[in-house]
Amino acid sequence: MRTFFGFFKPLLESIARLETAVARRWVASAHRRLMLVQWSLPPQPEHFDHHIDLFHQWLATRSSFWVERGVFGSLALKGGDVLELACGDGFNARNFYSLQSRSVVACDFDPAAIRTARRKNAAPNLRFELADIRDAMPTGQYDNVVWDAAIEHFTPEEVTRILAAIKERLTPGGILSGYTIVAQEGGSKMLTHHEYEFKSKEDLLGFLTPHFSNVTVFETAHPARRNLYFWASEGTIPFAPDWPDWVSHSKKG
Residues in touch with ligand SAM (CB under 6 A): 46-48, 69, 86-88, 92, 108-110, 113, 132-134, 148-150, 153
Phi and psi (nearest 5°) for 155?
-75, 160
Collapsed DSSP state (helix, strand, coil) of residue 8 = helix
CA–CA gap between residue 145 and residue 176 (Å, rounded): 5
Chain residue whose CB lies nearest ligand SAM: 88
Least Cβ distance, residue 121 to ligand SAM (angstroms): 11
Determine how many CB atoms are found less than 10 A away from the CB of residue 179.
Answer: 23
113/166 with CB nearer ligand SAM: 113
User: Which segments within the chain are labelled E, that is strand?
Assistant: 81-84, 103-108, 126-130, 142-148, 170-181, 214-222, 225-233
Q: Which is nearer to ligand SAM, 92 or 216 (CB)?
A: 92
Closest approach, Cβ 37 to ligand SAM, in A, equals: 18
- From the CB of 173, what's the least distance to ligand SAM, in Å? 24
Helix (H) or strand (E) holding 33: helix 2-40
Q: Which is nearer to ligand SAM, 20 or 139 (CB)?
A: 139
Closer CB to ligand SAM, residue 24 or residue 134?
A: 134
Least distance between ligand SAM and beta carbon 53 (Å): 9
